[in-house]
Structure formats: structure tokens, C-alpha cells
Structure 1
Amino acid sequence: MANSASGMAVHDDCKLRFQELKAKRNYRFIVFKIDEKAQQVTVDKVGQPTESYDDFTACLPPNECRYAVFDFDFVTEEHCQKSKIFFIAWSPDTSRVRSKMLYASSKDRFKRELDGIQVELQATDPSEIGIDIIRGRAL
């Protein structure tokens, strides 16, 4: 099913991998990209459960847009172990204008395909998705 705003379809692998992250915790993160030729969102990279937040941020290209989900584990003030799934729309200022527009117009439709997102962040540079910001939004 194509997105009416941008014409982007969502590859089944995106939904499958997300379900595995959410239900089985097979991955720490998933990075998605838009394949403009195929007119669909595809899986770009997956992070193993042992990988860190720094490993995740290192996967985001400095000059290209991406969507990503990150399974963030944390401990509450009551000492409860919790986890929240973050959706990050990565759109660096240095990426192409066409790419930024394409990602912006496809984001809501894509996000709806991933049932279980708990926190959404929009970022244009690494400082906007620092671990302190993630931790602050999780609590």
C-alpha cells in the first residue's frame, strides 16, 4: 500500500524486523531508509541486542536522512527495569532538500506501520539525540 503523500510503500521486512525487536528483543535498533528507485522504505541496518546507543548513533549517516527505532533500557527512580521504543526521524541539515522532503512526507504513514512506538524524536544533528535527551524522554 503506497503512501498517498509520497507514494512510498513499506517493505514487509520493515514490519517483520520491528515485530521481532518489540516482541522478542532480537535487535537493539533498526535503521530504515527510503529506496527512491523502488519507491519503498527498506531495512538499512539492524543492531544486535548487545550493541550500545553509541553503536546506534554511529550508524546514522552524517549527510543522509533515515528513520530508526531504538529499544532503550533504563531504570526508573523506583528502581524498576523498563524499556521504551523510540522512533527517530533523522534528517541532517546537510542532506539533500529532496531527501528531507521525501522523508518528512512519508514519516507518519511509515510510523503507523510500526505499532508499538512509545516516543518520537526529530533530529537534525547528533546533539538532538544525545543519550541524556533519550533518557529524559524515557522517564
Structure 2
Amino acid sequence: MTSGIQVNDNVKTYFEKMKVNKTNDNSDKRIRLVTCTIQNDEINVDKVFTQDMLGKDGVPEDAYLVLVSLLHDNACFYLMYDCHLETKEGIKKEELVFGTWIPEDIAVKQKMTYASSKQNVKNACKGVKHDVSVNDRATIMPREAFADCLERLTPAIVSLEGVLLSGGGAKK
């Protein structure tokens, strides 16, 4: 069941900017993480983190740590994450991850609204390789747990955001 909550065009615009990176684009302005929330019965972009924001003004240096820092028990959001990883074969990849943060202890009405609106956002953001639903920090912390979530489509991940995973990678 999907809700009647509409997705604002700004969500689609940011997603398209994340999806299409051109070689002549300024890499510092590259969008690495976008969060979206339900505001006034519409899904809107809430926060945007570009490459040049990482490591400044109290923002962590890598996009994964920024994502982890946003996980609060009193707020839900949708996320689009430009995840940089490396496989066991030495292949560096940049993959788009779509996800939801819906903490277990959030009010039932808010939980149901976000869960039932997720498909609306997914439909607006065609072309995402990974879909991650998170309701507990243990799902994505430590990095190895997050890599395990991604391994269904990208096997043998050995580093995430340039940080080597313990044991040489996620589960084999």
C-alpha cells in the first residue's frame, strides 16, 4: 500500500544530479548524500551534502560517517547516498544507495507514513542499485554491516569510502 503523499520535484532533481556525473563536472560540488523528509504532506529534500562539505564545519570526512551521524531516534528520513567502494578484485565503484531510516521507537503513525510513502520516492528515483531499510543502527554500523547490506548486488566489498573493512571485506 502506498500513501497519497507526493514527491516534490526537488527530490527528482537532486537524484538526477547524483545519478549523472560527468567527467568535466567539478568533483568538489558532487552530491554525496541527500536526505528527504515529509513536510506539509509532501516529500522534500531536507539536507544535501556535497564533496566539498565533507570534513568541514563539524561534518565528518567521509559520506558514510555523515550518514551514520544523521541517525537519530526521533526522526525518520529517506536517503540517497553516493557510496564509494572497492571490490576484492580491486575495482573501484560508485553506486547509488536508496534507503529509509525509520527507528523502531518512533511513533506508529510516523512509522506507517514513512513506510507507506517509500514506494513513491523509489518510483521518482529510477535507477538505484541498492535499497536499504534501516530501523536500528546495528544494520549499518560498523561499516562491515553496511557492506553486508550492499553485497547482495556487489559481492566481495573490501573498502567503503576508502576505509578498509576488517577481515578484508564483508562476508564471503
- Give the TM bin, normalised by the shorter chain: 0.7 to 0.9
The answer (yes or no) to whether the contact 2:10–2:45 under 8 Å persists in 1 is: yes
Partner of 2:90: 79
Q: TM-score, structure 2 length as denominator?
A: 0.72
**Following TM superposition, by how much is the alpha carbon of 1:74 offset from its aligned partner in structure 2, in angstroms?**
1.0
The 5 A counterparts of 1:101-116 are: 101-116=112-127
The answer (yes or no) to whether the contact 1:89–1:121 under 8 Å persists in 2 is: yes
**Deviation string for 1:69-122 (max 9, x for gaps)?**
111111111111111111111110121110100011111121111012111111
Structure 1 counterpart SS, 2:94: strand
How many residue pairs were aligned? 134
Partner of 1:44: 46
Which one has the largest radius of gyration? 2
Moved >4 Å (runs of 4+): none
**Following TM superposition, by how much is the alpha carbon of 1:61 offset from its aligned partner in structure 2, in angstroms?**
2.8
* Of 121, 131, 134, the match for 2:146: 134
Structure 2 counterpart SS, 1:6: coil
Measured on the aligned residues, the alpha-carbon RMSD in Å equals: 1.7
Q: Which runs of 5+ in 2 are unaligned?
A: 22-26, 55-61, 156-172
Q: TM-score, structure 1 length as denominator?
A: 0.88
Q: Which runs of 5+ in 1 are unaligned?
A: none
